[in-house]
Amino acid sequence: MACALLYDVYPPPDAPARKPNVGADAIRVKVKAMGDSIRLTIDGRAVTAVKSASIIQAYAHSGEAMTANVGCMGQGVCGSCRCLVRKEGEQEVRTLLACETQVEEGMQVSFIDYFMPAHVHRYQIKDIGDSWDLLERMHAIFPEAAHCRHCGGCDRSCPRGIVVQQGVAYANAGDMTALVKLFDHCVMCNLCTLACPENIRPNHLGLFMRRAVAALTLRPIDLLRRLHEIEGGALAVDISKPVDA
């Protein structure tokens, strides 16, 4: 229902006045009377949201446009809702995904832009003849992987808790099975790429190996099942529904 996801944005003083929405105002009063709303800050703007909402839902219903670098509903890429989050009363700033993070009172959120690096690794999976050439091809496409200094920046930046530098170590050691398994939960948010001083682009290294292994072997059954669900319309996105508390 509409009242289940109601948000009120408090614009800065110099912002242009918005047209009144009588229906929305009436629902807003009802939600506030229920005591089910909290306030947080998203990209410098104060937003009121229901407690059960995710950050991306709060942003989507605040009146802001869903553009590039702000969620898969705007950019069309999973992982693009990467953001910095500081909870009220805490000094630590965390890298999280807005679609997976529930709003909290006093939370401060800032979406993270991603800029395409000057060097992009380009390849064609069909050019890999067989698995005997895979390690050689990987080193040719991602030569920076051998320069990993194990600074840990990629690990700290990953919102999924993946030990990214271990994946790079697996690649250098030729342990492709372990590498593919480690990056199985990667959503390509590119935060490890932004954090890497050697321009390794670890998530793309993991993606390359996952693609190569899938192309050279039987496709993963969970991938086949998910593609079938998407084609059948079983995974339609409905941003009007609050996340489970």
The answer to whether the beta carbons of residues 198 and 148 sit under 8 Å apart is: yes
Q: Which two tokens stand for residue 40?
A: 């947080």
Q: Give bridge partners of residue 48 from the DSSP assignment.
A: 8, 39
152: left (phi over 0), alpha (psi -120 to 50) or beta: left
Start-to-end CA distance of the chain, whole Å, equals 17
Residues 111-133: tens digit of each pLDDT: 988 777 777 888 888 888 777 88
**CA 95 from chain center: how many Å?**
10
Residues 17-75: tens digit of each pLDDT: 444 444 344 434 434 434 588 999 999 999 999 999 999 889 888 877 776 666 676 55
Residues 187-216: tens digit of each pLDDT: 999 999 999 999 999 999 999 999 998 888
Q: What is the DSSP letter of 86?
A: E
Average pLDDT over residues 168-193: 92
Among 21-30, 153-162, 213-222, the range of highest mean pLDDT = 153-162
Among candidate residues 153, 7, 159, the one with its CA nearest the CA of residue 79: 159
209: left (phi over 0), alpha (psi -120 to 50) or beta: alpha
CA-to-CA distance for 17 and 75, rounded, in angstroms?
28
pLDDT at residue 153 greater than cutoff 70: yes
- Report the predicted TM-score, pTM, of the whole model to 2 decimal places: 0.69
Average pLDDT over residues 219-233: 81
Going along the chain from its start, the domains and CATH numbers come out as 2-111 (3.10.20), 125-223 (1.10.1060)
CA-to-CA distance for 151 and 242, rounded, in angstroms?
38
> Strand (E) positions, 174-226?
none
**Average pLDDT over the chain, rounded to whole?**
80
Which amino acid makes up residue 156? R
Helix (H) or strand (E) holding 40: strand 37-42
pLDDT at 13: 43
Helix (H) or strand (E) holding 109: strand 108-111
Which residues neighbour 235 within 8 Å (Cβ) at sequence distance 6 or greater? 226, 229
Residue 182 φ then ψ, to 5°: -65, -40
Find the range with the poorest average confidence among 163-167, 191-195, 218-222.
218-222
pLDDT at residue 168 greater than cutoff 90: yes
Q: Which percentage of the chain shows pLDDT scores above 90? A: 42
The answer to whether the beta carbons of residues 235 and 148 sit under 8 Å apart is: no
